[in-house]
Structures are given as C-alpha cells and as structure tokens.
Amino acid sequence: MSSIAKYGFIIFVFNSIFLSVPEMKNIGDFIFFGLMFMFSIYAIVNSSILIQIFKSKSVQFLILIILINFFYWIIFHEFNDLDAIKYLSARTIQFFIISVAVLLNYEYFLSKFPKHLAYFVIILVFIGLVINPDFISNRYLGIFWNENAFASFTCMSFAVFFLQAKKRTNIDNFLMILLIIISVSTGSRSVVIALILCFLLKYGLSVRNSLYSIIFIIFYLFIINLQLSTSFNRFSAVSLFDDRILQIKYAFITFLNKPFFGYGIDKYSYIDMDLVPDLIFGTIISAHNGYLAVLVQFGMIFGGAILFIIVRQSFLNIKRFISKQSNNTFYLFVIIFGLLTSFFETLITGINEFHTILFLFSLAILNFSYYESSDNK
C-alpha cells in the first residue's frame, strides 16, 4: 500500500506540471480524474490508514481545513450543487494523497523526491530547448503555456540543487546554472524572490548577507529602469506591476462586497465581474493574490480561519527549521516562497496546481519531521 501512496503522489505532482504543457492538457485531466478515483477507492478499502491520518499530528492542519470546507458547504450550499461537491471532493482527496504520502513514505520524500522532481523538470527544460532554443528574444516559455508557471518549476528545481545538504557535483553545478539562466529568461519577477531566499536560507540572515541582498535589489531596480530589447525586458516593464495591482484591487472590492461569508466554495480565484468597469473588463482575469482568493471564496470568518491555520503552521515550521541546514531546507524554501509569492499569485488555494500541492506537502512533511520522525525521537 505504501507504494501506491508513493507513486500516486509522484504522479499527482508530475501531472500538475504536465497540465502546464498545452499538448498534455487532455491527458493531464484524464490522469487527474483517474488519481481522484483510485485514491477514493484506496481510502474506502483501507480504513486503517484513515485512522492513522486522524491520529497523526503531522496532518491535523489538513483535517481542520477540510472540516472548515465541509461545514461551509453544509451551511451555504445546496446538497445538489455539483460544482461545490466536485471542489470539496477533490480537495478532500488532495489532502488524503498528501497525508498517505508523508505518513507511509517519509524517508523517500525527505531525501530523494526533491532531486527526482528537479530531474523531471530538467528533462522538460531540455525538450523545450530542442523545440525552441531561443531563450533571449522574448520571455521564454519552453514547452509550457505560461512563463510564470515555468519559472515556478525551474526555481523549485534550482533550490533543490542550491540548498542540498551534501556537496554538489560538477553535474549539479552545471544543471543549477542552466536552471538559473532559464528561470531569469522567463522574465518572471518571482525569480528575484527565489534567488534571494535561496541565498539567505543557505548562508544565513547576517548583516553581510543582508547587504548582498540589498545590492541585488538595487541592481534589479536599476534594470527595471532600462529599456531592454531581450527576453529580460519583462523586468523593466513597470506597467505590469500596475496591471497586477489593478487585479488585486478588484479582488479586494469583490471581497468587500461579501466580506463575511464569501461567494462560495466553488469560486476559486474569483472576481465578481459585475463590479469591474466596462472600460477595463477584459484586463481583469483573477485575484492574483492567494490570501484575497481565500477570503473571496469563504469570507472573513471561514476564510480567516483557513488562513490562520496555514500561516500559523508555516511560521511554526519556519521557527523550528530556519537555523538547521538539512534535507528539510528545500521544503522550508517552498513554504516561505509560497507565503511571499501568494501576495501576487494565487498559489496556496488550488487543487491540481503544482505549487499548492508542494506547499501543503511541505507543511506536512516538516510537521512529520518534527513530531514523528525517528531522528527527533
């Protein structure tokens, strides 16, 4: 049964990357629904694992979140609301997949999975370079549909190599350099956050290292005032900040329209278009803020409780592991990166979304490392 949990989770994460490849969308959806069905059966026929999940401190925060989702659905939705039922079911199974993966395969996911994830991304990077080798002229997509999603994959993979506890090989260094070049060529500003965060996690938050980070930020501010004609010109496109702020603004207006109980469990990353002026209607796409997305979806009371659980769990793990250089450091990076980038991306609320899966999984595996691993015992 542990093999089902192990490989099921690996497929779940890898498939969330496949879904960002346009040609793989239909296959990815088929795999996703197949996983949902398989793990539903797995949960039904293995009552013992459900008992183990409910007893584990490592995944208690997931149980609390799903209970909040469940009570919200009972109170505010009709029992025949299929969209709400689909969301709640998928969220429940997502949490189940994460839980059994951590509880039954902790050692593998702590020590080996990050490298396997990075190698998978690197294979896709090489495929992209064969198909589209020009990563200079425009924002680089590779084989993916969105530059920011691509940057998320490559930044995670870069962090795996940069933050690993053991000494890096020459091959590791080559792949790390390749990943940083590709990450920057996507033009995603989250790369700046990722690089500074990796540096501080690796070498510590000292006065000198803080100064290096400030110098890097000053260099970045200098870059955004240049008119570049390469793939890096996205760093100088100040207007895109305004666009993102505009979308966050209308997400906030949407929240204020129904502040206490939100728009509904099925309204993921939702903006009420009735509140958007016709003049800018086509430019408003989604909340672009994970925290606002939760509040719009569930409202201040239920959404606030969910955010409290997530943020509290995150800061507990940051406090526990921030000063320890180990295999846990990569997962700590995922958590901090997720908290920061959720201010301008919807990264902590998705179901079949790469960073959300990895973020929640990182919280669970660090909890396990603290509460239940043999090392701490």
Are 251 and 210 a contacting pair, CB within 8 Å? no
Q: Which range marks the domain in which residue 158 is found?
A: 113-237
The reply to whether 108 falls in a domain is no
* pLDDT for residue 273: 81
Task: Evaluate whether residue 66 is within a structural domain.
Answer: no
* Residue 359 forms part of a structural domain: no
| H/E stretch holding 125 | helix 113-131
- The span from the CA of 12 to the CA of 353, in Å, is 10
The structure tokens listed for 330 are 């990569």
* Domain-embedded: residue 221: yes
Residue 124 located in a structural domain: yes
Fill in the amino acid letter for 342. S
Give me the torsion for CA of 318, 323, 327, 333, rounded to 10°.
Answer: 40
DSSP structure string for 12-73: HHHHHHHTTSGGGHHHHHHHHHHHHHHHHHHHHH-HHHHHHHHH-STTHHHHHHHHHHHHHH
Question: Is residue 158 one of the residues assigned to a domain?
Answer: yes
Closest CA to 372 of 102, 114, 112: 102
pTM of the full predicted structure? Answer: 0.90
Rounded Cα gap, residues 192 and 167, in angstroms: 25
Integer CA distances (angstroms), 90 to 86, 161, 244, in order: 6, 32, 29
- Asked if residue 214 belongs to a domain, the reply is yes
pLDDT in tens, the chain (377 residues): 689 999 999 999 999 999 999 888 889 999 999 999 999 999 988 888 999 999 999 999 999 999 999 999 999 998 888 999 999 999 999 999 999 999 999 999 999 999 999 999 999 999 999 998 887 777 788 899 888 889 999 999 999 999 987 788 899 999 999 998 898 888 787 888 898 899 888 887 766 777 777 776 666 656 555 555 445 555 545 445 556 778 888 888 999 999 999 999 988 878 888 887 765 655 556 778 899 999 999 999 999 999 999 999 999 999 998 877 677 899 999 999 999 999 888 877 788 889 999 999 999 999 999 987 655 54
Residue 2 per-residue DSSP state: H
In a domain, 49, yes or no: no
**Domain tally, the chain:** 1
Structure tokens at 212: 């290096």
Closest CA to 59 of 18, 95, 104, 13: 95
